[in-house]
Amino acid sequence: KTFGTSASREVIATLESAGYEAVFVGGSVRDHLLGKTASDFDIATSATPDEVKGQFQTTFDIGIEHGTIVVLLEGEPIEVTTYRSENTNTSTYKKATADVPFVQSLHEDLKRRDFTMNAMALTLNGKLVDPFGGVADLQSRIIKAVDNAEDRFNEDPLRMLRAVRFSSVFGFDIELNTFTAIATKAEKIKQVSIERIKNEMDKIWTGSHSQKAIISLLTTGLADHLPLFPKDPQLLINSSPFVNAWEGWANIMLVGDYSVDKVVKAYKLSKKERFYLIDVRSAFMNRIERIYTNDDYYRFPQEVLVVAEKAFSAFHPEASSLNESEIAHAKAELPIHSKEDLAISGKNLLDWKNQRGGHWVGEWISKIESAILHGNVQNEVDDIKEWFLNEYTSEK
């Protein structure tokens, strides 16, 4: 069985027949050796970005300041990066320049990578290039910096968080020297842009070994320099592993009792993430007061209810709590699931009252929804009409 997709193999073959060197590098080689299927196949080459562009019809300059060209072949975007050495980038990648001093050798390129397991290459005909013992470290399940760990972390402090990320994803231990270097340099994580930090933390939250990773954040001291990270993370550990990254952010918020906007601002979360956090916070507040009502089951999406419930039981291990399928069942049992399920619409209300539209229509639709959810009225046109006219007059 050959490695890579047909498009990525063709990119390498094309570069090779034009006289350049080109190999698979990084995550895809690592994942292959771990027996996992990689999602993307990054390529490193001796060709300069301009030379890469000359070989293919459709290319994009995304990341060209780091020497990366995206080649689009058979509908697949493939990142092709010119061999570089560490001094081709700044410590934070923030101020990358266009005049990157590219290097001629693959070995130099591999040397500037973060961990031994990420510093391997695979040629088109299947030859593995592993100058730093990546295979051995994969077998011993350790995350080990290439060469001198302190140097690697000085060059780019984000790598410290990447070490924790890989331990979350693979469950590997961080090798002792590498770990000690992180503990020594932890404070430098503050030099890294929050976007890059957030990106790694998203992956920490979703790793199946996130509990181990959260403990590593604490024991290395990285946690002390990450915004809003809880001092006592036991509650965070109790609610992990997380089903997705959003759940991680929700738990940062709930465990620290921070407002939605505090978390959103600290980590530059997206609008969608913000709306999700708003929902989780209100579901959680409701849950603290009482078990979920039909209004909660109706109003909040399943994943919000599950996350709020999980956080609740992390806070109150003594209280009985509902599991995912019990929540799904309660939701399924609702007489209506959205406004679309209502037997009536605003137009019925206008007809029945023979009155102009206004705020009152929306308000009464909500009251009707609630009455149906609480079993006070059936979701049938005649029943709703009778209930509505009755309530409307008695409210006057």
Binding site for Mg ion (CB under 5 A): 27
- Of 109 and 369, which has the nearer Cβ to ligand ATP? 109
Q: CB-wise, 86 or 383, nearer to ligand ATP?
A: 86
> Is 26 an interacting residue with respect to ligand ATP (CB under 6 A)?
yes
| Number of residues this chain uses to bind ligand ATP (CB under 6 A) | 10
42 is an interface residue for ligand ATP by CB under 6 A: yes
Whole-number minimum distance, CB 265 to ligand ATP, in Å?
Answer: 25
At 131, the amino acid letter reads: P
In angstroms, the CA 119 to CA 25 distance is 7
In angstroms, the first-to-last Cα distance of the chain is: 77
Question: Which listed range, 101-109, 151-159, 276-284, 350-358, lies at the site for ligand ATP (CB under 6 A)?
Answer: 151-159
Instruction: Provide the minimum distance between the beta carbon of 110 and Mg ion in the complex, in angstroms, as a whole number.
Output: 15
Q: How far is the CB of 130 from ligand ATP (least distance, A)?
A: 13
Q: Which residue is nearest to ligand ATP (CB)?
A: 27
| Biggest alpha carbon–alpha carbon distance for the chain | 87
In the beta sheet, which residues pair with residue 43? Answer: 24, 80
How near is the Cβ of 42 to Mg ion at its closest, in Å? 6
Instruction: Report helix, strand or coil for 84.
Output: strand
29: left (phi over 0), alpha (psi -120 to 50) or beta: alpha
Residue whose structure tokens are 């503050």: 190
* Residue 113, binding choice from Mg ion, ligand ATP, none, Cβ under 5 to 8 Å by partner class: ligand ATP
- The verdict on 279 binding ligand ATP (CB under 6 A) reads no
**32 interacts with ligand ATP by CB under 6 A:** no
For residue 391, how many other CB atoms are within 10 A of its CB? 16
User: Quick one: which segment of 110-118, 275-283, 285-293, 346-354 binds ligand ATP (CB under 6 A)?
Assistant: 110-118
Q: Where are the beta strands (DSSP E) in the chain?
A: 22-25, 43-45, 59-60, 68-73, 76-82, 121-122, 128-129, 142-143, 173-174
Q: Which of residues 111-130 bind ligand ATP (CB under 6 A)?
A: 113-114, 118-119
Query: Among residues 207 and 256, whose Cβ is nearest to ligand ATP?
Result: 207
